[in-house]
Amino acid sequence: MKKVGVVGVGYVGLTQAVGMAQLGHSVIAYDIDVEKITKLNNSNSPFFEPGLEEALIEAQSKNLISFTNDAETLIDAEYIFLCLPTPQDEDGSADLNYLLEAVNEIKDILKPNTYLIIKSTVPVNSWKQVEQIVEREDVFLISNPEFLREGSALFDFHNPDRIVIGATTKEQSQIVAEMYSNLSTEFVLTDNTSAELTKYAANSFLAIKLSFVNDIAALCENLNANSGEVLKGVGLDNRIGNKFLTPGPGWGGSCFPKDVNALARVADREKIMMPLLSAAIESNVNAQNRVIQKIVDKLGDLNGIRIGVLGLAFKANTDDTRNSPAIEIIRKLQALGAVISAYDPAVKAFEGFEVKNDASEVFIDADLLLVLTEWAEFAQIELSSHIQNMRVVNILDTRNIFELDELKKLKVNIIN
Ligand SMILES: NC(=O)c1ccc[n+]([C@@H]2O[C@H](COP(=O)([O-])OP(=O)(O)OC[C@H]3O[C@@H](n4cnc5c(N)ncnc54)[C@H](O)[C@@H]3O)[C@@H](O)[C@H]2O)c1
């Protein structure tokens, strides 16, 4: 059992803290947010993530995890994971202030031979900035980027595709790898700079893949080709793979947009042309705008048009709406005069429009039903009874949740 500290108890930090406790380590997790720590001490997860609250309660009952607003309590930790936000700055680069401030706050309480492990997604060579702040030879700086997916974060902790650990010596990275030794996965032990770049490269590659898929789906619509079958045929090529080939209203979330932009800034700085990054971003804006355009083409002037929206989170199984394409699209529809009422299984309120408690309520008096997040439970909605409550039965299902044959049988106006 190792003594583990976690700084920043958000989606990544809480998952890391609970996951480490499940591996049998003793964890103390620190955050500046008083309300969040109070909630956690009462065994409530501050956000929705499948299985996390149950695992938290179990870890607390075994006294393997505790939460604090007092940085001094990290004094005994041998391994400290830094899970601070790195949001996008005005110029597109990553804002390191949260990370650097937190490091500044704890650097003097670290005991000799502490492993200070950066989990936040940071631009290449940020570890050197952290090292300069710490200014101690008896503290080892490790880069261990996080690859979890919100919605399956704890599952991903226990079943990672790989664990990347960057350090200045192989011995240090091996020691940190031992923390995860109960997990069966491939380890990539490398230097700090390569570890940092691996995370940006992976996220940017995924964003480019999704942008390409959305462009192909748009082309299919124009050509009257079946995008599902086209993409299935593409994905059966082993070199491409069948994951991340589902079209949608654009990608979003707290990571892809900022990470693609941040990698573009790194490439600019290094004078390496990476036109695919800006193309992926442009394609993503187009994907969102295509949704608006389809609605305007069908319904004309949107002033006073009532739109029932299913899904607000940026993806299913999370309540995270940061950079959610659903929110971007809703804002654009509102700017055109549309009246929104929305439902999401995990998002219960949002400023600027009504969020209903039940999916059935968004159908009432709607001129259009718009599906924006791929929650599996939407497929269970009994459309035949609810569409009777709509003013006009138009449906735009950007996630292909509903069976096309069923929509045709119900004689709804399908917008595609
Ligand atoms: N969310 C994801 O799916 C995901 C996946 C992989 C990597 N990441 C990366 O991990 C990092 C964290 O992301 P997140 O989504 O968990 O962020 P988050 O915003 O959910 O959580 C960050 C936490 O840090 C706390 N904090 C801020 N300043 C602090 C300070 N000085 N001391 C202590 N705590 C402080 C905040 O109160 C908050 O609870 C980011 O770099 C992100 O890019 C996120």
What is the spatial distance between Cα 81 and Cα 265, in angstroms, rounded to a whole number?
26
How many other CB atoms sit within 10 Å of the CB of residue 296? 15
What is the spatial distance between Cα 311 and Cα 316, in angstroms, rounded to a whole number?
8
How many angstroms separate the alpha carbon of residue 12 from the centre of ligand 1?
6
What is the spatial distance between Cα 43 and Cα 18, in angstroms, rounded to a whole number?
12
Nearest by Cα to 193 from 169, 170, 166, 174: 166
Atom of ligand 1 lying closest to residue 145 CA: 7
Q: Is the pTM of this model over 0.85?
A: yes
Which segments of the chain have a pLDDT < 70?
Answer: none
**Active site annotation includes 220:** no
Q: Are 123 and 265 in contact (CB under 8 A)?
A: yes
* pLDDT value of residue 93: 84
Strands (E), 70-185: 79-82, 114-118, 139-143, 162-166
**Atom 4 of ligand 1: nearest residue by CA position:** 12
* pLDDT value of residue 65: 98
* pLDDT value of residue 90: 86
* pLDDT value of residue 91: 85
What is the spatial distance between Cα 135 and Cα 129, in angstroms, rounded to a whole number?
10
Strands (E), 8-48: 26-30
Strand partners, 307: 340, 368
**Atom 18 of ligand 1: nearest residue by CA position:** 10
* pLDDT value of residue 98: 97
User: Given ligand 1 and candidates 82, 84, 203, which is best to mutate, with the most ligand atoms within 8 Å of its CB?
Assistant: 84
User: Given ligand 1 and candidates 18, 31, 127, which is best to mutate, with the most ligand atoms within 8 Å of its CB?
Assistant: 31
Atom of ligand 1 lying closest to residue 12 CA: 16
**Atom 25 of ligand 1: nearest residue by CA position:** 8
**Atom 24 of ligand 1: nearest residue by CA position:** 8
Out of 59, 255, 359, 368, the active site residue is 255
Q: What is the DSSP string of 190-248?
A: E-HHHHHHHHHHHHHHHHHHHHHHHHHHHHHHHHT--HHHHHHHHHTSTTT-SSS----
List the Cα angle 89/256/322 in 5-degree steps: 70
**Atom 1 of ligand 1: nearest residue by CA position:** 11
Q: What is the DSSP string of 343-367?
A: E-SS----TTSEE-SSGGGGGTT-S
Residues whose beta carbon lies within 6 Å of some atom of ligand 1: 7-13, 30-33, 36, 83-86, 98, 101-102, 105, 120-121, 146, 148, 150, 254-255
User: Given ligand 1 and candidates 6, 7, 9, 11, which is best to mutate, with the most ligand atoms within 8 Å of its CB?
Assistant: 11
How many angstroms separate the alpha carbon of residue 156 from the centre of ligand 1?
17
Buried-state track 34-60, b at ≥16 Cβ within 10 A, e below 16: eebbebbeeeebbbbbeebbebbeebb
How many angstroms separate the alpha carbon of residue 13 from the centre of ligand 1?
7
Strand partners, 186: 162
Q: What is the dihedral of CA 78, 80, 81, 83, to 10 degrees?
A: 160
* pLDDT value of residue 416: 87
Nearest by Cα to 116 from 85, 146, 144, 81: 81
**Atom 15 of ligand 1: nearest residue by CA position:** 11
What is the spatial distance between Cα 248 and Cα 330, in angstroms, rounded to a whole number?
15
Atom of ligand 1 lying closest to residue 255 CA: 43
